[in-house]
Amino acid sequence: MRIWNYISAVLAAIIGTVILQACEKVEAEEITYEEKETTIVIYMVSNNDLAGTAVNNINKILEGYIPSDGNLVVYSNNFNLATGEKLGEPMTLVNLFKDEGGKIIRDTIIDRFPISNSATKERLKSVLSVVKTTLPAKKYGIIFWSHATGWLPSGYYSKDTDDDAIETSSDKYAGHFDPYAGMVKSFGKEGDTEMPITDLANSIPYKMEFIAFDACLMGGIETAYQLKDLCDYYIASPAEILANGFPYETVIQPLFEEDYTAATKAVYDYYAAQSGDYRSVTISLVKSSALDEVATQAKRIFDLYRDNVATLDVRSIQPYFRYNKHWFYDIKDFMSKLAGEDAEAFNEALDNAVIAKYTTGKMLNLNIDPARFSGISTYINNPSNDELDAYYQGLEWDKAVNMINAPDAPSL
């Protein structure tokens, strides 16, 4: 759910026309790439209602930093960047870089992938394999761009869950149309297909320097832990992301410079400079190697206090959801209320893992207390939900911490 309005369409058309004239699309001869320092992939599942915003974001990419000793690869629909028109269904893979003279080159690596769904593990693995083979680099990073619903099973977020609702301060429209629906993206949705995080993790064939999500609700402990062995750093939002997405004109350069704190702050700075409802953001940077200690401390707490989860007043815990989508709470606030002073070691481990975190104090009509903002969300099985609890037990996080006590966890 991304916003796309007339003003941004006009700006994209103007910018796209200028940029297309300034860029060269290589067709006459094939480029052979030598190993470069860094290759960054932006994987856009854009064959959906986000297509218009994809055009805007690609134009923003072209406005910003384009590397000389690196590759910036965009997987997306084939768009006319001046008009926003989608040129057929097949997806394309385009590499952006500057030649020795400083001219921006747009080299189409693949102009027609076979028609298939981009929100599948087969397509993601295929794209990343092509990138590795064609664009060798010492280091790789990836931004996933699309709709997303955190760790939840495919299709669950959109189910009718009124019978299992938790009333919060943002629930005055619960059960009715969300007036902010057009402003947020609620990884990878194409048609009726969504990619669960277990499939996503199994589809990344080599380790990344960083994994970032320009998508909603991916800043949870479940997603970060599922992907921890596949990246050194993890950037995501525990709440929703507004439809404008990342400020690609400013966020790309610090990613190439490996200044991930600056890249995370660039997302915050963009939204902090907005007004009204658009001044809404949560964004965090996690050091993956520190997550094992977080899990160790979490397991200790659950072993001692697991039975108390069912008696917690979850309405007192900082939420990151709006309306009745009550599967995302602040993990430090949760653990502190569950274990009291005994959560001190856990909180210290979490602070060592979350090395940067920013919020404007709200996400649309949801208030977020900066003092209780740890930067990471978690599921709380209160009230218990048989379907979700069974699925949750198969995630690597619950296997490590055993929040839901089940000795025979399923394999996802």
Say if 374 falls within a structural domain.
yes
Q: Report the percentage of the chain scoring pLDDT > 90.
A: 63
The answer to whether 340 touches 284, Cβ cutoff 8 Å, is: no
Q: 0.85 cut: is pTM over it?
A: yes
| pLDDT-derived band at 32, boundaries 50, 70, 90 | confident
Last residue of a domain, one of 264, 287, 310: 287
31 lies in some domain: yes
Least confident of 107-116, 165-174, 271-280: 165-174
* Residue 280 identity (one-letter amino acid): S
pLDDT of 88: 67
User: In this structure, what DSSP letter does residue 119 have?
Assistant: T
Same domain? 305 vs 279: no
Alpha helices, H only, 23-158: 51-63, 121-134
Residue 160 belongs to some domain of the structure = no
351 Cβ contact partners less than 8 Å away, ≥ 6 residues apart: none
Q: How many domains does the chain have?
A: 2
Q: Does residue 42 sit in the same domain as residue 188?
A: yes
* 411 domain-assigned: no
pLDDT band of 15, cuts 50, 70, 90: very low
Domain stops at, among 261, 287, 313: 287
Residues 16 and 147 in one domain: yes
Same domain, 114 and 245: yes
| Residues 347 and 238 reside in one and the same domain | no
Model confidence band, residue 277 (pLDDT cutoffs 50, 70, 90): very high
Q: Is the domain of 143 the same as that of 103?
A: yes
Classify residue 256: in a domain, yes or no. Answer: yes
| Residue-range definition of the domain harbouring residue 39 | 6-153+183-287
Look at residue 286 and tell me whether its pLDDT is greater than 80: yes
| Same structural domain, 283 and 342 | no
Q: How many CB atoms lie within 10 A of CB 392?
A: 25
Q: Tell me the C-alpha distance between 376 and 326, whole Å.
A: 15
Q: What is the largest CA-CA distance in the chain?
A: 68
Q: Say whether both 315 and 238 belong to one domain.
A: no
End-of-domain residue from the set 221, 255, 287? 287
Residue whose C-alpha is closest to residue 41's, from 150, 203, 280: 203
Least confident piece of the model among 174-178, 236-240, 312-316, 344-348 = 174-178
Q: Do both 353 and 389 map to the same domain? A: yes
pLDDT mean over 195-214: 95
Note whether 340 and 385 are same-domain residues: yes
Q: Are residues 300 and 281 in the same domain?
A: no
Instruction: Please name the residue ranges forming H helices in 185-330.
Output: 197-203, 221-226, 248-256, 260-272, 291-305
Do 298 and 352 have their domain in common? yes
Q: Check pLDDT > 60 for residue 39.
A: yes
In contact, 279 and 362? CB cutoff 8 Å: yes
**pLDDT digits 0-9 by tens, 67-93:** 998 999 999 887 777 776 777 667 889
Q: Look at residue 164 and tell me if it is in a domain.
A: no
The pLDDT score that the predictor gives to residue 180 is 64
Q: Which two tokens stand for residue 19?
A: 């940029």
Residue 16 belongs to domain with CATH number: 3.40.50.11970
Residue at 166: amino acid letter: I
Residue 158 lies in a domain: no
Residue 37 covered by a domain: yes
